[in-house]
A and B are shown apart, each in its own frame.
Chain A
């Protein structure tokens, strides 16, 4: 039984990977659209803003490069695909397939990340050429831990968006909710400024939200900046468990509400 679902998933994954390879140019462009952290780095170092937060230029450039990587591999768009599928009536056939429909989207995302990897690496090489002193090689252990942490960050965002996507069963259009959620993700996750630079008022409550665990934690681990690795990953896990159980509940009541469309 278990082997069978692994087989199903790997087939799904292979087809999605082939599908993604077809859109290489699109994915390359998408990788380029993630360069905002580099622009932010430019503002930080060009104006000497990092002096008062005690992060050297080199450490800050490593941080933003890591933030770029973490963001590249934790981009989630499941709500947009699901909304389109729901509006066009494609969800009905997915529902009767012998695997939860969200595995399809999950496979899509993983396949996309693998296609994206060489482009992200290319951008990183350009970055190092223009910024040679920030070149560093993280230890195997750091690499492994940050990989896990990035994957957890991806899972948290995937589950959060899946919950929102499930609202499509009620409202048909859920992407505007996602855009609303994207605002705190953008400003509080550490993509534009490391969380350590935030004012103390914000720092006092921000760790109660999932946002700093999305970019700041994995990027700090990877770049060798200060991070509470053990606690951080544990909290990431707690968020995953929480969002997973919420998703199951919402999905269950959503499918009961489901009325087929299209056809």
Chain B
């Protein structure tokens, strides 16, 4: 494993995909506008909820806005790094071009997970941080180095879980060939990460913390910011993230054994 080589290859990846994306400049502008409107829309929905009540699942509006910020950042990460790549996996497998990837003297999971990068999500990440810093202001939160490092740890864990979920679904393409709609199912479930998990009924909360661990993705980092997350939750999140990462790696190795190429 040569880290220098991988970093160099990664910078080439970024260079080539930026040149591809910048070919459609107007599209990029429209995407930025879409991200902004999407955030305005979800805050609008949140304000409808809170116009009828003071608290949802124990969270008030100012606190729920933190989840909104975290969700926006993570959605930006998904749109920048995960989405463009994992959409390609389906193509590699259907057209049989995964052969060329496997033949390259580089790790195949690295190649298919980081080949493309799309600048569309970057504005979302910025918007998310903007919302988050506004939340710090309205909730009177002052971050200590201690809580800040916990926030960074939980965010890294959330991103790892998110990556593993996307990667696992996309890797099933090896058996089912067309899984575009499976990613739509995942997307619609992840959508619920915009709301505090305590606002759902008990059975849905169980579903969202075990089968599709949305609780770990957005709610726990927000609880860390507010300072009411007990230590065991953070430890649990680190464990879940590690398990997911290891599992996605194993799963990919296992799935490759069933890859039979296409045509020729």
Contact = CB atoms under 8 A, between A and B. Distances in A.
A90 interface: no
Contacts of A51: 52
A47 B188 contact: no
A124 to B, nearest CB: 17
Interface in B44-92: 44-45, 47-49, 51-53, 56-57
Contacts, number: 93
B33 A180 contact: yes
B19 interface: no
Given A29-B181, A33-B181, A33-B185, A198 B48 contact: yes
Contact of B181 (A26, A43, A198, A199): A26
Contacts of B201: 42, 46
B196 to A, nearest CB: 10
Contacts of B187: 33
A199 B188 CA distance: 26
Q: Is the interface of B mostly helix, strand, loop or mixed?
A: helix
Contacts of A177: 30
Contacts of A47: 49, 53, 56-57, 199
A137 interface: no
A180 B187 CA distance: 17
A198 to B, nearest CB: 7
Taking residues whose C-beta sits less than 8 angstroms from the other chain, chain A's interface range is 35 or more
Nearest to B184: A33
A34 B201 CA distance: 19
B3 to A, nearest CB: 36
A53 B57 CA distance: 19
Interface string B169-201: 000000010101110110110011001000111
Interface of B: 24, 26-27, 30-31, 33-34, 37-38, 41-42, 44-45, 47-49, 51-53, 56-57, 176, 178, 180-182, 184-185, 187-188, 191-192, 195, 199-201, 204
Q: 6 tightest A-B contacts by CB?
A: A187-B41, A29-B181, A33-B184, A49-B52, A176-B27, A33-B185
